Structure 1
Amino acid sequence: VVCRQLGCGSASGAFSALERFGVGDGLVSLARVDCRGHEATLWDCEIRGWGPYNSSIHDLDTAVVCQGFSRLVGGDGACAGRLEVRQGRAWLGVCEEQVDMKVAQVVCRELGCGEALGIAGSGRFGAGSGSLWDGGLRCNGSEPLLSACARRPAPRQGCSGPAGVICSSYTGFRLGNGSSGCSGRVEAAVRGTWGSVCASEWQLPDAHVLCRHLGCGRAVSVPAGGSLGSGEGPLRPDAFGCRGSERHPGECPVAVLGKPPCAPGNAAAVLCSG
């Protein structure tokens, strides 16, 4: 109930606040709360013992850890797979008919992934347990969590099967160790962790897309790998296959290089016109 009221999805656990988050302070507001789990707010639950209590004892303070409403399973990582939503303790698939690109955008944002790249049919990531959610969603695409989207009744027509969502794993791009903001070593963030991009398959069309994304015009040249150092963090063994028209490299097809994936220090670089 607390997680739903705060717009934080569902609860993954309830804990002793002392063990999980340390000693609290201030007044104790509620002594005992009994919820069935379906209430919209905490105040709708049965409360026995309204405070505030002028107590300095916080040994019995409680804590809640919330989790998102959605997950992607059956894919190669956390940013692509069959879309499932949490209902109580169960994870249920979502019908293809209920998922559009706006829903996909919210799912990708909630999971800490990059842009939504596409929606996959039920055959792409398997059927899972076969259990499907009987609800519907209406998102405008800007919500921080799927649980913040409006709900709509389940469709009357049949369900074709569970939908899949494909997000970019890249959440940011930048140029490092250059003479300006428009030249430097190519660095990419995957779910918040920055690392350099391998130069083995980094080509001029990839550089054009990156320069345009950074507001730096077109790519002038692609210097030799490692010419601007290797940087900190992992050296990402990904090969971008940009055509040149994408808004940013996260929209380009990506393939993982073979083994050995990338020679140490062989980080890509680019010089843009801006």
Structure 2
Amino acid sequence: RPRGFVAATGWAHSAKYGKGVGRIWLDNVNCAGGEKSIGDCKHRGWGNSDCSHEEDAGVICKDERIPGFKDSNVIETEQSHVEEVRLRPVVSGARRQLPVTEGIVEVRYKDGWAQICDEGWNSQNSRVVCGMMGFPAEKKVNRNFYKLFTERQQLNYRLHSVSCTGTEVHLSMCAFEFYRGNASAACGAGMPAVVSCVPGPLFATGSAHKKKQRQQQQSQPRIRLKGGAKVGEGRVEVLKSSEWGTICDDRWNLLSASVVCRELGFGSAKEALTGARMGQGTGPIHLNEVQCLGTEKSLWSCPFKNITQEDCKHTEDAAVRCNIPYMGYENLIRLAGGRTTFEGRVEVKRGSKWGTVCSDGWTTKEAMVACRQLGLGYSLHAVTVGAGGEAPGDTSASTGTGASLTAVGLYGGKGINGPSGPRRLLRFSSQIHNNGRADFRPKAGRHSWVWHECHRHYHSMDIFTHYDILTPNGTKVAEGHKASFCLEDTECEE
């Protein structure tokens, strides 16, 4: 109807009309049918979605226009929802430090940022904002300091009467009201909302925080994330009866996912993933139908059902993507000399100088850390022997990254022994689904393929995937790669 048609004759799913770009604004839309706009229908909140663009919805409108409707290309500029939120630090030292744990809460409005009136602001509201920023908890803030500071500032208030329960994953899911028109004289009795957050152990700074981090590392965790390409995402695994296992995705939602994220020292959950989106686990499936309220300190405090053999399979393993603090790590590393922005010689920044990394002990694991730091996900190859070109400058500038790049054995290679002995050809009894979106084909051109006498077809000897071999409890015992593009199981001597 907002597009001027009288009705719809059909709908489409799974991106039938092509995958969109940008954010997915709406999910779980439930209309009664009489609404004037799709934004008036029930939904999960603006920008709150666990979908991918492969699930973009489409409509087929009836070819009959509403009488008197005039088509217009003018898009309304009045913003009626909250999208981006940030913490603006004002303390002089905090402006240069990352992560930003304290500051004035601001929301994106038109081409700038606007403030929130803090009348009625409480710790539940702060908890939601901290969760969005990647922090597990909030703490009290020196309101008087900020009141003195903001009295001298030109402010532009956008929201007021914010009321969260504390379990929301985004401020847009809380109750609030917009200021309309000129809001310069608004919030007379209040001031801008200010929030202070407690960082998780992984992002803590200072000696007291570091001590707490060491203590947590020494204590045996009962929950972990596995299979994620980035920090703060992965398949959820729990320790029960001294054995790691997964969680079935029945009733898995953002409330339960957020409890997991906060327990691990991250913020609230961005996505609660189902259907083994972060890969299938191994070993037992410990929990089913986890139903957290969102206020629990640990997943183990949430109601759940113990699993039975016929309840679930590993194709239903639950996973999460958590909000994590912005640390600016991607500004300390770059790729140079590559054909695309996704490959090249690794260069790291130490102080104000850039330098290279010596390739002694450089393997796919170190490449994985570099790719993760760049925000590019998994690594495909760990290239050595100057493949990215010679680099000028002092290579010792890179030694400061050694703490995050640990030396491990190489994938493949002639005569290389893995952690458990010589390489062997393995046949797998289970089917592992490829959750990536890359084409499953070799990169090497046809001219470089090798004829195989026994198989009677050509092989591309290009490595195009890596895998880890795990024991049933998730311990890595070996690693390997798939090289020849061959889908035929022919009995050959080698």
Which category of TM-score, normalised to the shorter sequence, fits these structures? Answer: 0.3 to 0.5
Q: Report the structure, 1 or 2, having the larger strand content.
A: 1
TM-score (norm 1): 0.41
TM-score (norm 2): 0.25
